Structure 1
Amino acid sequence: MKNVTLTASKRVAGNKSKTNALRRQGFIPAVVYGAGEEIPVSVNAREFNKTFHGAISENIRIDLDISGDKKRQVLIKDYQYDPIKSKIVHLDFIELDPNKPIKTHVPVHLEGNAPGVKLGGILEFFTQELEVECLPKDLPEYIVVNIDNLNLGDSIHVADISLPNGVKIISSNEQTVVAVTHATKESTDVVSEEETEEEVSE
């Protein structure tokens, strides 16, 4: 599991003008939930963006070093994004208890080459992340799905995936993760038309 460090400062909650002022000063307002309390904090937007490179994930463990408080291990549970300003305007962190299972989403990484694609099939990646349950120490950075044996017309479902020790998938076992499908009739017709045009021009 990937692990990163962020610094944070406590802030006063419930004051919209101060919250907006924080954003103008280059900070992201946030709240840490868990352990029976809610802690309003702010994190430096530049530091956050540099750490996550614009790709926020729910399964990256964060050592959140809060000024004037203890360091807490958290995950990003939710966030608010302003599409007009192209920036994150709020974060929700959930504090981890090392002895309690957590539910979160983990990305799926495909590995290998599907033989069915070489036969003219189309690789369709239906499920790019899965919901899992496990202890924080067992949370994987991603789940690998090997497609080396995926022939034309074959598919891989959640039930077919090999999981790391201690990890349980909550998503439905019948859910299709990846498949090699036959080319559509429309695609075939386009190819046939192109071949016909070539024959006529000859």
Structure 2
Amino acid sequence: MEKVEIEARERPQIGKGLKNLRKQGLIPAVIYGKKIGSRSIVIDRKAFVKGVLGSVAGRNAIISLKITGEKGQGISVLTQEVQRNPLTDEILHIDFRHIVMDEAIKTRVIIELIGIPAGVKDDGGVLIHGLREIEVKCLPLEIPDKFEVDVTALKIGDSLHVSDLSAVAGVEILTTPTEMIANCSPPTKEEEVAAPVPTPEEVAAAAAAPAVAEEEVKEKSAPGAPPPPPKTQK
């Protein structure tokens, strides 16, 4: 498990000057936990994006927050929540959860599917990615970066579930074993809409229509033919 060090400093002005902080490349954040209560801080955006989000472990990377002016090894935390601007995707705020290295914690780990199922490659099936992360309980340093699931052997109709995951020493999986992770479904076929079949009456009417129209044209164009009677008004 990766461990990342990030410099931080106290933020006394809660709720004030947040825009200015972000313009300076800083992210407002909060550390919370049973043993330390709640502390408001700011950290460098680039350090967090590169060191945490850009790491293999991602949000499960263990972070050591070095608070300016404080001695010691720093505060060990995990990233609990990252709030973003829905329009610009800018990071607005971060919640950090304080952890104790010798105490087991609950967290979520992503699932990554590896390979192309035989049912997709040979029979045109469709791979359905169900569960994308699972909940585990373990010591902080034993948190897996991810669970890799090989799907190459899946044929049409085959599925993989949480119960099929390989056991990891020191890691307890809390997610229900019957939850589906991946499924190889049959190919989808587009239904062809059949053209409507005309009834005998419709066929006869269609055949007679050209003859009637032709007869009307002959009557109108015949020399000396009387003009049509005027329409009477009611």
Length-normalised TM-score, structure 2: 0.73
Q: Tell me if structure 1 keeps the 8 A contact 2:57–2:146.
A: no
Deviates more, 1:95-104 or 1:43-52: 43-52
Percent identity reads 34
Selected match of 2:81 from 78, 83, 96:
78
Output the CA distance in 1 between the equivalents of 2:60 and 2:126. Answer: 30
- Show the counterpart of 2:18: 19
Higher Cα radius of gyration: 2
Q: Which has the higher contact order (CA 8 A, sep 6+)?
A: 1
Task: Give distance in 2, aligned partners of 1:111 and 1:102.
Answer: 28
CA distance in 2, matches of 1:57, 1:17: 29
Q: 1:54 to 1:100 in 2, by over 3 A?
A: closer
Q: Does 1:127 align with 2:128?
A: no
For this pair of structures, how many residues does the alignment match?
A: 189
| AA at the equivalent of 1:79 | V
After TM superposition, the score normalised by the length of structure 1 is 0.83
What SS does the corresponding residue of 2:46 show, helix, strand or coil? helix
Residue number in structure 1 paired with 2:37:
37
Q: Which runs of 5+ in 2 are unaligned?
A: 193-234
- Residue 17 of structure 1 aligns to a residue in which SS? coil
Q: Which residue matches 2:216?
A: none
TM superposition shift of 1:55: 9.9
Quote the Cα distance in structure 2 between the aligned partners of 1:56 and 1:111.
17
Q: Distance in 1 between matches of 2:172 and 2:59?
A: 16
Question: Residue 17 of structure 2: SS of its match in structure 1?
Answer: helix
Matched, 1:151 2:155: yes
**Cα distance, 1:13 vs. partner?**
4.7
1:100 aligned onto 2:103: yes
Structure 1 position 39, deviation (Å): 1.6
Deviations 1:87-137 (A, max 9, x none): 111101111111221111111122233211122211111122111111112
Which of 81, 89, 92 matches 1:89?
Answer: 92
Distance 1:154 1:142 in 2: 23
Name the structure where strand makes up a greater proportion of residues. 1
Shift in Å at residue 3 of structure 1?
2.7
Alignment root-mean-square deviation, CA: 2.5
